[in-house]
Amino acid sequence: MGSAQIAILRITLAKMARVFSGIQPSGDLHLGNLLGALVNWVNHQEEHESVYCIVDLHALTLPKDAEELRSNTLELAQLLMAVGLDPDRCTLFVQSHVPEHSQLAWLMECTVSYGELSRMTAFKDKSDRSDFISAGLFTYPALQAADILLYDTDLVPVGDDQRQHIEITRDIAERFNHRFGETFVVPEHVIPPAGARVMDLQHPDRKMSKSQHSVNGTINVLESPDSVRKKIKRAVTDSDGEVRFDFESKAGVSNLLSILGAATNTSPEKVADSFERYGDLKTAAADAVVELLTPIQERFADLQADPAETRRLLQIGADKAREVASRTLMRAQQNCGLLEG
Ligand code: TRP
């Protein structure tokens, strides 16, 4: 085979691969979400058949205010569209709009063991921090497995913190297939490129995260240009004065290089070559982030002005998702011995 044919074969294979990912409507999207995950989601739309889900049912596993959940869900849909998820090129929908997720989750719960769920570190972390530990928090991975398996997913692009959840999804799929015959595609975990690791600006040894409540260390996607510039200007660096990409010994500077690199599609090492002073690096990083966020904020404002249109697009997404999900659910129900209704 010539190189052109190999390229075509690769594209054909890549086109057939289906990508699925989910995101919780927890309010506020930050720069870490954007550069770490969402940029990849947007790119996957070109190369793969992609399905993206706002997991509102997962959000219920911890106590939530009802109105807040509703508005966070709508707002997240608008943010995702503003970032570049295009309802014409991917399937974007809200989990609770596709009832097959809850239905398959029960079959998943009956396929996974108490012991396996007890070993999930995300459960241990969250239950340590919560007064009320719902049964749903414990069975969270079974619902996540249902999300993924419903779409015959090949690839799941999520961060390293989701490794255990993808592993357990694979185990559930294999066990179900073994017990009841070929039913599910066993998915692969794809970890986004490391360059997009975005750390807290004030505590560059930990990831930028909403749950840490580090106001000055986190940049929101909807943050004003002024505030972006202030936060980056105040970002923690070090005292040796050398611009070099080295997360081990120079976390703060490396984080700025990583942010500037991701925002301008350049490697952080290459970015480092262009700067001699921290001040210049900070100015350039702030400019790049403002330039990245401004068009997103403008598109978000347009979408927010017309919520009925967002709902219409989400309905189309849910209809598209259901076509695939209902077939998979039916196959699973039949294979495990439920009598057809
Ligand atoms: N657990 C994921 C998180 O907290 C969210 C999620 C739910 C998800 N279902 C999914 C991610 C399916 C990937 C695939 O980020």
Active-site option among 207, 231, 233, 282: 207
Q: Is 207 a residue of the active site?
A: yes
Look at residue 46 in the predicted model and tell me its pLDDT: 87
Look at residue 9 in the predicted model and tell me its pLDDT: 59
Distance 53 CA to ligand 1 centre (A): 9
Look at residue 244 in the predicted model and tell me its pLDDT: 95
Q: Is 231 a residue of the active site?
A: no
Tokens representing residue 217 in the block: 């260390």
What's the pLDDT band for 136 if we cut at 50, 70, 90?
very high
Tokens representing residue 273 in the block: 């070559």
What's the pLDDT band for 90 if we cut at 50, 70, 90?
very high
54 three-state secondary structure: strand
Distance 54 CA to ligand 1 centre (A): 9
Q: Which residue has the higher pLDDT, 341 or 61?
A: 61
C-alpha distances in Å from residue 241, one per residue of 66, 153, 234, 274, 324: 49, 47, 15, 14, 55
Q: Which whole number is the average pLDDT over 140-153?
A: 98
134 three-state secondary structure: coil
Is residue 91 within 8 A of residue 54, CB to CB? The reply is no
Look at residue 191 in the predicted model and tell me its pLDDT: 80
Half-sphere exposure of 247 (CA within 13 A, CB side): 16
Look at residue 12 in the predicted model and tell me its pLDDT: 54
- Does residue 162 have its Cβ closer than 6 Å to ligand 1? yes
Distance 287 CA to ligand 1 centre (A): 32
Is the pLDDT confidence value at 241 over 70? yes
- Does residue 56 have its Cβ closer than 6 Å to ligand 1? no
Least confident stretch, 104-118, 206-220, 269-283, 320-334? 206-220
Active-site option among 210, 230, 250, 270: 210
Look at residue 211 in the predicted model and tell me its pLDDT: 74
CA dihedral (331, 333, 334, 336) in degrees, to 10, reads 120
Is the pLDDT confidence value at 62 over 70? yes
Is residue 180 within 8 A of residue 336, CB to CB? The reply is yes
Look at residue 193 in the predicted model and tell me its pLDDT: 65
Is the pLDDT confidence value at 10 over 80? no
Q: Can you tell me the distance from the alpha carbon of 196 to that of 143, in angstroms, rounded to the nearest whole number? A: 28
Q: What is the mean pLDDT of the chain?
A: 93
